[in-house]
Every structure is written in C-alpha cells, then in structure tokens.
Amino acid sequence: MKIGTISDLHIDRPSDYTETEYAETLAQLTQDHQLDVLLIAGDISNDYRKSYQFVKAMQRLTYKEILFIPGNHDYWQVDDKTTHQIHEFFMQQPECLMGHPYIINDEWAIVGNSGWYDYTYASPEYTTERLERRRFKGATWQDKVHVDWGMSDIQVSHKAAALAKRDLQKAGDRKIILATHVVTTPSFRVPMPHRIFNYFNAFIGTSDFEPLYHQYNIQYSLMGHVHFRGETERAGIEFACVSLGYFREWRTKDIEREMSHALKVIEI
C-alpha cells in the first residue's frame, strides 16, 4: 500500500497556476506514484469551503482515498462563520482525520490532527505575554486577525493534543502514521539566532505532542506549516516536513517538479 502526504498547497495565493491546475497536477502525481491514499496535511486555502471543495475535486479526479486535516489558514474566518463553526464543519466531514483515525489494517493506522502552536519554539528571551501580542517589528501573525478560538493559543494546543491522544488510543496497538499541520519537532523550526524568527518561531510548532511519541507506536510523523521541506529521524521515528509552500517561495516555477519534491510517499 502506498500513502502520499503533502501540505501547504495554498491554492488561492498569487501564482502562475490556477486552482484547477493545482488539483490536476496533484491528481496526476497521485496516479503516477500509484498511491492508494493521499493525505493533505493542511493549508489548502484561506477559505474552508474552497479547501473542502478541493478535497472533493481530488476524489473525482483520482478515484482514490483522499484524507485531510485543516491547517491554520483553512480556519480563517469567512462567510460570517466563527472559528468554532469552521472547526465543527471540518469535524463532520468523513475525509477529515480528526476524530476519525483511518484504520488501514490490523497492523497500521493513520492519525491526523491540525495541532496548534504553544510558543515553546520561540527564543526564551520573549515572555508569554510578549508572544501573545503576535506582533513583532511591524509584522503581525495573521492568525491574530483571521482566527478566534476564544482562548489562548496555548490552550488550543493542549486541546488539539488531547484530541490526538484520543485518536491514537482508538488505533490501539497498531503502528501509526501521524499527520499534523504544525511542527511537532524543534528540528523543523527556523534556525536561531534569527532576527525575526527568534520571535515568530513561537507560532511554528508545539511541544504538546512530545509525550505521545513515547506512549504510542508512531513510526512516521508528517507535518507542514513551516514552508520548507526536510526529513530527520529520532528514536526510530521518521519525521518529514512536506510543505509545498507559496508559489513565490518555490525553487523553480514548475508546479509538477515542486509538488513531486514536496510529496512524501510511504509504502507499507
């Protein structure tokens, strides 16, 4: 069985390619790699309706199992919907992994959760109070403008990890492919010292998932959010960052090449 994972498509950001071309290119890669399952690990777009429409379009184009988890951009408020209403919309969709671990067989399962950031990846020079402003050197972390959970980011991170734990328990003793949107290992934060990311690393990842790696049989941990790609291994767990990222950040302007580079394929 082949499982492919990619994140941070950002299909509605400025690009030389249309949203249809994003879907058609990813569908072709799904076929080329003979994937059985495609998992999109968040940040499909800035509109929850458009993000879910993309998931459905991928189903029509590939006739494959398409799974997803929302990213922070997918939660951006539109159409007068609150963040919680958007979250409930995602939770109700059968393709969304949150609350619905995907049981592959008696040996393997896929668990997914957006996660949230808990400020622990920032430089210790900044207090929690300072980080809660989400503004630094004239730049504002845009979730401050577009997302409102009605609680602190740290509380949201705790709740996300608690939901992930419940889903891991549902998977039983199976080997786990864990997908999150935010980063769950400091290996993928922006290297410090850095004049900007000493501060903005606060919003890259979370430490709340760390205990889960010790409690459950997680073999792969796939994530996005930070717009670079890479792999590392720790304690027998393979970690991979699978972000496509904004068009302006691509190394080339070839969508097929960039998607192929970002796509992580696991064969079990």
Confirm whether pTM is higher than 0.75. Answer: yes
Residue 231 pLDDT: 98
The three-state DSSP-derived secondary structure of the chain is: CEEEEEECCCCCCCCCCCHHHHHHHHHHHHHHCCCCEEEECCCCCCCHHHHHHHHHHHHHHHCCEEEECCCCHHHCCCCCCCHHHHHHHHHCCCCECCCCCEECCCCEEEEEECCCCCCCCCCCCCCHHHHCCCEECCEECCHHHHCCCCCCHHHHHHHHHHHHHHHHHHCCCCEEEEEECCECCHHHCCCCCCCCHHHHHHHCECCCCHHHHHHCCEEEEEECCCCCEEEEEECCEEEEEEECCCHHHCCCCCHHHHHHHHCEEEEC
Residue by residue, pLDDT tens for the chain (268 residues) are 999 999 999 999 999 999 999 999 999 999 999 999 999 999 999 999 999 999 999 999 999 999 999 999 999 999 999 999 999 999 999 999 999 999 999 999 999 999 999 999 999 999 999 999 999 999 999 999 999 999 999 999 999 999 999 999 999 999 999 999 999 999 999 999 999 999 999 999 999 999 999 999 999 999 999 999 999 999 999 999 999 999 999 999 999 999 999 999 999 9
Give how many domains the chain has, as a whole number.
1
Residue 102 pLDDT: 98
Residue 20 pLDDT: 98
Residue 12 pLDDT: 98
Domain assignment of residue 87, given as a range: 2-267
Residue 233 pLDDT: 98
> CATH no. for residue 59?
3.60.21.10
Residue 70 pLDDT: 98
Residue 110 pLDDT: 98
